[in-house]
Chains A and B, each alone.
Chain A
Amino acid sequence: MSDAILKPETHPTVDVEHWLGMYEQMAKIRAFEEKVNELYTRALMPGLAHLYTGQEAVAVGVCEALTREDYITSTHRGHGHCLAKGASVDRMFAELLGKEAGYCRGKGGSMHIADQETGNLGANAIVGGSVGIATGAAFAAKRLGNGRVAVCFFGEGALGQGLVYEEMNLAQLWKLPVIYVCENNLYNEYTHYTETTAGELEGRARAFGIHIEVVNGQDVRAVYDVTHRLVERARRGDGPAFLLCNTYRYYGHHVGDINRTYYRSKEEELDWSTNRDPLKTLSDWLIGAELADQETFTQIHAGVEREIEEAVQFAIDAPYPDPIEVDKHVYA
């Protein structure tokens, strides 16, 4: 695991506006999730949600290296992936509240947001369930010759499911343009991954001869850089890759998982949020390199807050689906 933070020097290929754009995306995801938590706490949101807070650099770093036409599949902890791939916050909130204006007309909810227009083939509540979809999308891209790449986001918990290995085998066998992004946030729900996982995480991909990269998932620069290389590699026809991102989930497994001391310490949580926060890491670097000042970030956060407030209000005001919708879209 490489926890080393890059030295504060100007990035060779990415200009400051691009980094600030990534910062804004991460800030938006964080503000979105804070608002989701608030909606849950105030009993304004049906069901539960699995917050992405703390892992923002993974979704943003990866999706910034993709085009709008490239595909992603996401997970139950998927709000960050959807937003990073280009979803708008108003329709996201509307979906979370079960409103017809939501991305899935309120039929999918927090765990199933799909947005065809941004290449999002859907979030999946079966932890390894979308690995087939992403690999199939890569298969189609190769067959149709459209140059697209598929990214499959999943957590380290998904490595407990066998489908992942069947798909990795197919992807490497047929050199499919798919990138398996494994976000190791240390916990399979309420259990540390070392209690569930024999051997090394990346050893699984190694068994298939798949190209492996391990990256500090709290550093958006590192995630972006490595993904950029992997995407080029996949587009060239060099086949799949496994990108292990070491990261951390600031909140519990879901919004209702409040008392967590039986499976992890408050000191551990504080260490990650204080010393390895992805937003702080990027802003410290840009300020240290005199590429931005504190005022820049204050303005970004203010803009994001406004956008979130307007989006929530839009979702709250939006109508629920008509009852006639209940048996529509069962068959295409």
Chain B
Amino acid sequence: MSMPDANGRVLTFAEAIREALAEELRRDPRVYIMGEDVAEAGTPFKVLSGLVDEFGADRVIDSPISEAGITGLAVGAAMTGMRPVVDIMFGDFITLTMDQMVNQAAKIHYMSGGKLSAPMVMRTTLGATRRSAAQHSQSLHAWFSHIPGLKVVIPSTPYDAKGLLKTAIRDHSPVVFFEDKMMYKLEGFVPEEEYTIPLGVADIKRSGADITLVATSSMVQVALEAASILAGLELSAEVVDPRTTFPLDKQTLIDSAKKTSRAIVIDEGYERYGVTAELASVIAEGAFYYLDAPVKRMGAMDVPIPFSPALEDLTVPTPQTVAEMAKTLCGKI
């Protein structure tokens, strides 16, 4: 468990992202940020506030509302010596960038026999319950996780976000970095000193003995709250955060499930054909002889995200629904 020093600084998730970007912009002149309203506006979520003041408008670059255009431009710039960080304001808008990410960025290294590469980062968001309706609320990280050639990062804490983003910017392959927009104000310890976190290393957010809750991004806090509820019922839940869907730290998931013999996989993407299916399959194969119950999956309900709070809140797992599922799996009904 990589809990940072409890005496360290506290930053919000947004501040941790901003600090990672600032450090990498300072370290490497090839790095630039491009996106809609990234400069003076600092994005609608204010994640980038102030960066343009230090680095100037030619490194923190406001673009037209052309998601495909700035992504394609980033692919070419990355292939010829730059280190682009593309800002796609809402994860729902990645659909507009698909050809450039899937057919261009993901494939150029392989198609060229290893001669060319596209070292770029796409930062975007995921997560519902912001009352933003069907086109500003989806969690589409499974789409990119499906594509060989791309790496996908889904951090859940300020500490992880900073360390993983710095690694992503230094990676030689295209990386898509999903930030839960409901988490931007989440606080956590982030040390002053420089650090990075390798991609493909899961983190155990809470140790436990009775059941494994594999949770990603926005669902890590949900799982931690569920674990607290379960603790009151004398059930000890272990919360495992893969932190990246690719590369995927299969072994940590499997080892945890072997230890607890029960597992629920929780992710905010649509449940159907989603991240939960992949992770559950990893556990089912890897820990088969140790399991006392089928691996359960909890994702977003398979509906377009509704606007009305009364409906939207029904579409994503909550601490209560996760705790209920855990109790059922543990035979405590």
Q: A126-B99, A166-B69, A169-B64 are in contact. Are A133 and B76 (CB under 8 A)?
A: yes
Bound Cα distance from A103 to B78, whole angstroms: 21
Bound Cα distance from A122 to B84, whole angstroms: 20
Which of B68, B111, B114: most chain A CB closer than 10 A?
B111
Which residue on chain A has the smallest CB distance to residue B81?
A140
The answer to whether B72 has its CB under 8 Å from any CB of chain A is yes
Asked if B69 contacts A105 (CB within 8 A), the reply is no
Bound Cα distance from A47 to B321, whole angstroms: 53
Asked if A121 contacts B116 (CB within 8 A), the reply is yes
Which residue on chain B has the smallest CB distance to residue A133?
B76
B32 neighbours in A (Cβ, 8 Å): 143
B74 neighbours in A (Cβ, 8 Å): 132, 136
Asked if A107 contacts B148 (CB within 8 A), the reply is no
Asked if B115 contacts A131 (CB within 8 A), the reply is no
Asked if B75 contacts A332 (CB within 8 A), the reply is no
Bound Cα distance from A131 to B66, whole angstroms: 14
Asked if B66 contacts A166 (CB within 8 A), the reply is yes
Asked if B76 contacts A162 (CB within 8 A), the reply is no
Which residue on chain B has the smallest CB distance to residue A106?
B113
Which residue on chain A has the smallest CB distance to residue B117?
A332
Residue of A116, A126, A140, A331 near B173 (CB, 8 A) is: A331
Asked if B73 contacts A163 (CB within 8 A), the reply is no
B244 to chain A, nearest CB (A): 13
Bound Cα distance from A150 to B149, whole angstroms: 25
The answer to whether B104 has its CB under 8 Å from any CB of chain A is yes
Which residue on chain A has the smallest CB distance to residue B150?
A331
A173 neighbours in B (Cβ, 8 Å): 64
A105 neighbours in B (Cβ, 8 Å): 113-114
**Contact count A vs B, C-beta below 8 Å:** 145
B79 neighbours in A (Cβ, 8 Å): 121, 133, 136-137
The answer to whether A135 has its CB under 8 Å from any CB of chain B is yes
Interface bin, chain B: 35 or more
**Interface of chain B residues 207 through 232 with chain A (CB within 8 A):** none
Question: What sequence of 0s and 1s flags, for each residue 256-289 of chain B, a beta carbon within 8 Å of any chain A beta carbon?
Answer: 0000000000000000000000000000000000
Asked if A132 contacts B76 (CB within 8 A), the reply is yes
Residue of A71, A108, A163 near B111 (CB, 8 A) is: A108
Residue of A71, A73, A104, A162 near B113 (CB, 8 A) is: A104
A179 neighbours in B (Cβ, 8 Å): none
Which residue on chain B has the smallest CB distance to residue A128?
B99
Q: A135-B76, A136-B76, A140-B77 are in contact. Are A162 and B68 (CB under 8 A)?
A: yes
Asked if A141 contacts B112 (CB within 8 A), the reply is no
Bound Cα distance from A154 to B290, whole angstroms: 57
The answer to whether A220 has its CB under 8 Å from any CB of chain B is no
Bound Cα distance from A328 to B149, whole angstroms: 11
Asked if A163 contacts B113 (CB within 8 A), the reply is no
Bound Cα distance from A134 to B76, whole angstroms: 6
Q: A116-B116, A330-B110, A331-B173 are in contact. Are A170 and B104 (CB under 8 A)?
A: no
Asked if B76 contacts A163 (CB within 8 A), the reply is no
Which residue on chain B has the smallest CB distance to residue A148?
B80
Asked if B99 contacts A331 (CB within 8 A), the reply is no
Bound Cα distance from A162 to B103, whole angstroms: 16
B21 to chain A, nearest CB (A): 18
Which residue on chain A has the smallest CB distance to residue B119?
A332
The answer to whether A242 has its CB under 8 Å from any CB of chain B is no
Q: A329-B110, A331-B109 are in contact. Are A163 and B77 (CB under 8 A)?
A: no
**Interface of chain A residues 108 through 148 with chain B (CB within 8 A):** 108, 112, 114-116, 121-122, 124, 126, 129-141, 143-144
B77 neighbours in A (Cβ, 8 Å): 136-137, 139-140, 143
Bound Cα distance from A115 to B79, whole angstroms: 12
**Interface of chain B residues 82 through 109 with chain A (CB within 8 A):** 82, 84, 99-100, 103-104, 108-109
List 5 extra interface pairs beyond A107-B113, A122-B111, CB under 8 A: A133-B76, A140-B76, A143-B32, A163-B69, A332-B114
**Residues of A with Cβ closer than 8 Å to B?**
71, 73, 102-108, 112, 114-116, 121-122, 124, 126, 129-141, 143-144, 150, 162-163, 166-167, 169-170, 173, 328-332
A sample of 8 cross-chain residue pairs with beta-carbon separation below 8 angstroms, ordered by A number, consists of A107-B113, A114-B116, A131-B72, A132-B73, A137-B80, A139-B76, A139-B82, A170-B73
